[in-house]
Amino acid sequence: MRVCLAAALSAAAIEPLRIKGVLPAVFTPFSDDGQSLNTEVVPKFAQYLNATGVQYVFVAGTTGESLSLTTAERMALTEAWAKQGMKVITHVGAESLLDAKALASHAQANGAVALGCMSPVFFKPANVTMLAKWLKEVGAAAPRLPLYYYHIPSMTGVEFMMLDLIKEVEKIGVPSFAGVKYTGLYEPRAFMDFEQCAEYAGGKYEILCGREEMSAQALAVGAQGFIGSQFNFAADLYEELIRRFPTQDYLAVQDQALALLNAWGGGSTGVNGNKQVMDFVNLDMGGARLPSVDASKAEVAAQQQRIRAWCEETKKAINFEPYMCKQSTVVV
């Protein structure tokens, strides 16, 4: 009886989440010295995200500095976010297959609704067959959760076409495979690949846009779900972009979204200016963990002034005031 039940569960179809809208790849809060997690910030962080309309979070991805964290720290983050009532997608990619499987099993046991998994980045898979076998092993550790391959070749150096991976996944059988978090949109063939993956087998798999600065382009090829780092502080701005698409008016919102990226960028080498924006909305993410470094007080002040100026311009340009601008106490 138990064998039959296990077989039935493994054979059950795992459906993609079918996300509509944006979800942040959340930052990881540290202590002031960057040496330990500060999960006490998570409840306040979750409240802020809820106020911008966020329901899902992508935990311990690239934005969350996953490979700078221990396995225990990554597990603690999943637990902390799941306690907030958020729908948690846990990134479980690791250099060790055993670590990835442990993270997947833990995520399933602690309330995650799905998994993301990038490939190893040092001993890389030689071809899509090896990558599909890796995903099969990881997925088997959490058979009830949809599994999304996290495609980010700029960081992993793994540059396979995702359509080829999907076909290989089907060939070898990865029951929980649900789609791709497609962050490699800077690659020359990416948008054609993205569209082909989204349309494959009548839209069987969910292809999520992982580059928020290219949201308008992704909308044009049919993207409906978006995962990005700027959604930590400006999710409602991007939801406004989606709402206005495909009218000509959406381009003005895209312009302001890109202007925000420019406003927080341009800091010293090694400074995570993106994460630093959370100071603007009164959420302390703590100190940097090497090899990242902290910004100087002067850099923080200059960035906040640029963002406040951006807030004023955005309100005029698109007749919309993002929540981050209302929440901040920074004045010009």
Say which DSSP state 277 is in. Answer: G
Closest CA to 210 of 196, 192, 190: 190
Catalytic annotation on 150? yes
Say which DSSP state 161 is in. Answer: -
Angle 281-44-17 from CA coordinates, rounded to 5°: 100
> Which residues, in sequence order, are CB contacts of 70 under 8 Å at separation 6+?
none
The pair of three-digit structure tokens given for residue 150, joined into one six-digit string: 């996290």
Whether residue 257 contacts residue 241, with contact meaning beta carbons closer than 8 Å, is answered with: yes
Angle 89-91-261 from CA coordinates, rounded to 5°: 85
Closest CA to 59 of 101, 19, 103, 97: 103
Q: Which candidate in 149, 181, 182, 205 is catalytic?
A: 181
> Which residues, in sequence order, are CB contacts of 2 under 8 Å at separation 6+?
none
Give the SS3 label for residue 262: helix
Q: Measured between alpha carbons, how far is 94 from 96 in angstroms, rounded to an integer?
A: 5
CB atoms within 10 A of CB 242: 18
Q: Measured between alpha carbons, how far is 83 from 85 in angstroms, rounded to an integer?
A: 6
Q: Which candidate in 56, 149, 150, 205 is catalytic?
A: 150
Catalytic annotation on 181? yes
Say which DSSP state 247 is in. Answer: S
CB atoms within 10 A of CB 130: 14
Any idea which residues carry the catalytic annotation?
A: 150, 181
